[in-house]
Structure 1
Amino acid sequence: MIRAEYLRFMQTLQGPSTTDSVRRIANIVSYHLEELTPLSTHQGQRIRKMVDLSHANWEGAPTHIPPIPDDSAAPEIQLSRLKTMTVGPFRGFAQQEEFDLNSRLVLVYGPNGTGKSSFCEALEYALLGNVAEAESKRFRDQNEYLKNAHVNAFTAPVVVSEDEQGSDISVTANESAYRFCFVEKNRIDSFSRIAAQAPARQTELIATLFGLESFTSFTRNFTSEISSQYIDLQGKEALLLAQKQQSLQGAQQQIQSSSAELHRIAEEEQRLANSFRAGTSFEQMKVELSGNDHTPGLIQQLEVELQHPTPLKSGLSKGAIEAMGNEAASMISELRIKQQKLVDSSHQVSFKQLYEAVVQVQQSSSDACPACKTPLQQVVVNPYMHAGQELTKLQDLAALQQGVIQLKQSVLQNLFNISQTLNTCLKFFSQGNPLKPFEIVNAQPELTWWDSLLRQLPDNYTAWQHLVSQVEQLEASDKKAEEALRLKGEKQNELNRLRDLARQVTVLETQMQTVTNNTLASQRVIDNFQIDNAQLIESVEAEKAVIVKNQEIVAAYAAFVQKLTSYSNSLPAQLVADLGEQVVRLYNSFNRNDVQSELLADVKLPLAQNQRLRIAFQSKPEQFFDALHVLSEGHVRCLGLAILLAKNLKEQAPLLIFDDPVNAIDDDHRESIRRTLFADHFFMAKQVVLTCHGEEFFKDIQNLLSVADIRESKLLSFLPRLGEQHIRVDYNCAPRNYILAATTHIERNEVREALAKSRQALEALTKDKIWKYVHRHGDGNLSIKLRSSTEPIALRNLTEQLRSKIGRAEFTDPNKNAIYDPIDTLLGINRGSREWRYLNKGTHEEFDRAEFDRGTVTDIVSALVGLDEALG
């Protein structure tokens, strides 16, 4: 892409307004394009390389512009249709595959990752001679990107096409002739992303859409001029001589100023030593700070001490564990008292449960006693009223039960906290700890665990006493750790202070060394001036010719960059010139279901820097809006696609190759875009190659077209890989066109499957084609009765309504019988037959179903074929 566009730019340099020097620069860039492309303005990478190349090639660079190579010029023989493509090894193709593309429509389906992009990249390489994706991913050697990684080999794809006279020809890559055949989903994505960013980036829209980002980036990485930082324009030797001529006086002044500087440095050294310790010399301070061969310095000693690890803290306290113990003992005592009360009231609990059960069965047996079924009018005591009264009396018992539950939860939480403290003690005192048998891991301690803590162990202490004692020890250890941390902080502060002193020592020593070197250098200048000047004067004379050449290079480079930048900036305007009307037509076709006020009346594409992409709606054709401000992301994508397709039409590209439009367009516009591509007049004269990963989209395209169109189309299916290293292709994939599938099934005597496809076909025809046909030639308003809001429209009811509309005398289509008769044939089949019940409602799996009548199903399929032919 970059080379092809650059060669087109070079043709603009052939006129008399361009100097020979500029053409030299242009040719140098052309010869070394691959070296220059990856270099940017960062740290002067590109400009440094340009200076080196200009110096090395200036005399040998030609001053004429070579013509565009034959493979980039317009081809003498125009291709009409691709017929075959042989590909592999190439990208995902580990071995050779041959594709039959000899059809106006080539539809390719396959899930993501099955090789569709490799298929499209093979077409791109065969037609354009390059793959844009390799360029965008910074592959300097495109063959590395294109070769199959498993076999480590690459063979250029071979495409055979048919010319306008019907003869077979081998396609020669021609980027200029075929670049507008491709619609890249990634470019539409980038177009919509830029639309969501700052308005200032709108000037990049068209360049992004047509894949010019790489060329634009290549252009921008040329700085506008070569500064003296990168090329000698005055003469280094001449400047050096002039400097040396002035340096005699300067050297003497340097010696005088150096003496005062040395005195200042000595005072700074003593001040710094006194800040370290009063009465210490600068040299003694350096030894104490940094040490010597025998003794480490204070800085090193502190660094070693600070490397010792700080003891860990437990965070425990004796007061906290004792408080938890007291609280646990108190709550457990209270819990056991309440639990005993519940035990003492066990008979009341039983009665409470009984009364509750009686109340619960009242709704199911409200007129009789739940136990004996005696009617309530005959019982002595109403059991439901009695149960309710007794439950009221037992409210205190319920409160006691709830209190026991809540208190037990609090006790268990307290015991859990104590167990965590015990586990912490075990982490710090892991060897021979008497608390080890009481460790709780990933479990909730119970009351028995608490009781065990209070029992006396063989050492005459309880586990609780050990726990409190260990917590007390850890609390004391925490205090020591805090003291150690405080001391470590003090040492760190002291280390920082000493390091700062050492840094200042280094600064002063550096200053001293610099002053000393300057003094010695100045003295040498004075002593050796005459000897040095003799050789320098000769060099000054020799470099004059180099300076003249460098100045010519700088001037030529600046003019070259100005012309290249101007060309790059003008490219978007050249690409979209005279596309406005076609863009509006295509955009409105994509949005045919929108209200009239949302359709476009005009579009003004950006033709110059800082211009906006502006649109006017049909409701207000005189008022223009910023398109990226008022359009949704889906409509922005439609606009980008409309621009690309308009360019394809304007350039009369013989092909339209669209890789996975499902990713490039949103759900709301897919139907209209399908109709624009396959049903409207726009692309009827072109071969269309389309890939998609959406099976529904693949199916919808085929059912939009007629059976005849699908029979003549090439349908390919890329299959998921099952561990192979090679792309799997189904060259005879099952058609998704319902009528064609039904015809195939009936030919194979697969009656049930033929009927299933017939239902889908009839549903698609009535709702998508026949209803629209009726609306176009007559009254398309139907009156259909539904039993509920969720009930689907009965297919027979819909078909009968449409037949009735077509059969009316006022229906305007003179050829309506071609559609009426197949519908009448379909409806002439008994509506109560198994076949029509199937068509009307679909079928569910049933055993022992009576067989479908093959003759009836054949009539249904034949009628559908006739409808399809009549509807085109």
Structure 2
Amino acid sequence: MAKIKTIKINGLRGVREPLTLDLDKKSILVYGDNGTGKSSVTDSFEWFFYDKIEHLSNEEIGRRKGRDALRNIFIPETEDSFIELTFDENKLDSKKSIDNSLKTFNSNETDDFKKFIASSFSERLILRYRDLVQFIIAGKTDKLKELQNIIGFSDVQNIRDLLKRNGARIARNIKSANYDNLKNVQQSTILENLGQNAYTDEQLFDGANKLIKPLKLGIEIKSRQDINTVLKKIESKEDSELLNQINFYTKVKESVAQIEGNVDNINNSYSTFYDSFNALKKDPEKVKNLQLLSLLQEGKSVLTKDVVENDYCPLCQQEKSKIDLLQDLNFRIEELELLNKEKEKVDNNSKDLQNTIKPNISAIEGLLTEKLFEKEDYKKLKETVEKIQNSLNNHLDESKKELTEKLSDKEEIKFVKKEIEELTSELVKTIKKLTESKEANLKFKTYTKLFQSAKAYVEYLKIEKEQSVLANQQATFELLYEDFIKRQEEALNVFLTMFSNDINDFYTTMNPNEKVEDIKLVPLKKNDELVGITIEYSFFNETHTPPIAYLSESHINCLGLSFFLASVRAFNKESKFFVLDDVISSFDRSHRYRFAQLLTTKFSDFQVILLTHEKEFFELVSSEVKSKGWILNNFKWTKDNGTGIERGIADIKDRIKKKIEDKNTDGLGNDIRVYAERVMKRVALEIEAKVAYRNNDINEKRMAPELLDAVQSKLTKASKELKEKADIPKIKGMPMFIGNTTSHDNSFQESIEDLEAIWEDVKGLIHNFYCSDCDKFLSLKFYDNVENKIRCGCGNLKFDWKK
């Protein structure tokens, strides 16, 4: 599996001048204020692997997968923009460029690289904050689609849907064709001419031999070839015009008889469509809600594609969390899904009606191309046939009407079967009259009857074969579908069990000792079909779903992050790295720190590119991740150069050491104070020192005196030994820890000697709570119940402790 050695970006998004990140396969934590270009790295990364930037791929910005907004606007036209990645596997190194005409080029065209890029489409490489909870707050159907896309089951689902659609399509074709009616029409022609039905060759030959017997031809019909021989023998060129008339009327009769056999189906289909259409239409509220559903679905699309970037409603322009908006939209859409099912029922009834009508329209249209209809003698018959055609077209037009339109009354548009029956009867009489018109010409009469019977029998066999083939196909697809569903569900359940275990593990790591546990992805079925996925979990030992019912925004974000990380663990088979872009914005302090620990412990084998604009988070976790070998970087943006790396020491502890070494007092006192505050927040957390609750913004900016008081109060109750050793009042009395919340200004004018002494005292204080051997703080999670001592991870640092 590949890890990244270097990332070099030039002229892409906010990166104007070359930006190089030397990673050497290591993870990196990057801090930068909003607007410094962190997301330019993510955008470039996404373009490199997926050839598009999803949140830029909309019509407002451009339709070319975001390429319109990819190049930095200040880069010279003659210069290419590019991102270049080098990997620990050199064969994957590549530079992807885009010129001023937006043409793209890739320096690596090897099969190995193409395979690597292709595999990334099924891997989880990037998570942005806006995408964090999409799966968690999605509806059950969207969850299923999203999960299937992630786990590669979308292709499986497509095959399943294809089997189902084909089986249903064939069933509709069989129903609309009305094969039994078509066969009856042909058998009717055979009966009229042979005096008996013919369902087999033997029955046809038997009837044919009886028919030709009076001619005493000395020929016994034993095959269809024999029928052709007899027809040639008794054919008369003189009677061709009369024969054409008989053939014409026979064709008209068969077409009308076909429609006659379908009249009940057409009327019933229209009645079903009419009833479902008007049942939905009679409730104006339902019609309005259907229109609203389209609007809600479009609104959801706008938010998920990040067309609107800030937290406000694009319709009313009022401030509202995008997550809350999406939750509301998903809830409303799911509410209206049942109504949409009613609309789908109307649509399906409309399609059934159309499928019933169209074969009959085709038959009439083919019939009206007959040349004899052009003659005056057949004008009345043509008008009658056209009347049937108009009625069929009227039914078809009705089936295409929208809910805002009015349907014709069932009785007004209804086919009158008696009229068509009378036309069929009249046509039969006409054919018989023409056939009998040469009563003395036995050969002509026999020829006509044998020809029509043989032709009808061939058509009968053709229809029967087509019906049999379709029936076998339908049965095959239904069997395949049933077996496919069974195997798919077995495989999906195995995966969901494994996947759910990882999600639960990651979530509980970030939320220990809480009552949310046993998180599961559970398949939902309806009529034995998989229709969705829901998230089920135990809350105070009771099973609940969905998460938004009981979980806070911070907890939902933890769940979304757990889902992504479980996806990384499950599907990243070629890429041993992933990017997290500002994913902790709504996390409170405890979740932020545990999130960092989760990455450094459970994903130590992965290369993580973690981007944040939260300075408090950066300072909170920088020591934790740096001790695990991570790189720390600060991004800055300037008008002349765009995004760049801020030179200097990113880690505050290293910065303090460097300033003391250089005798540089500029900002040193503030760095020591910030470092002490950050560490004391951690100490307070680990020993469960209670600090009065504040909202998140204030909670993240606790000042040292407040934290020191909380720790001192806890030690007074729990450990006299540690209280005396720590000597917190000494630290608290230092002038630099007295100031206001906003600026931390005070009148203390520090010298380098004073600051060195203060730094040593702060380190001494911290030394009482932190073990350098195991890199762990004293914590109640390591409490020794036998010795009644609080200790570090390895036990080398421990003190008496009264719980």
Quick check: which has more Rg, 1 or 2? Answer: 1
Relative to the length of structure 1, the TM-score reads 0.42
TM-score normalised by structure 2 residue count: 0.46
Instruction: Answer 1 or 2: which has greater strand percent.
Output: 2
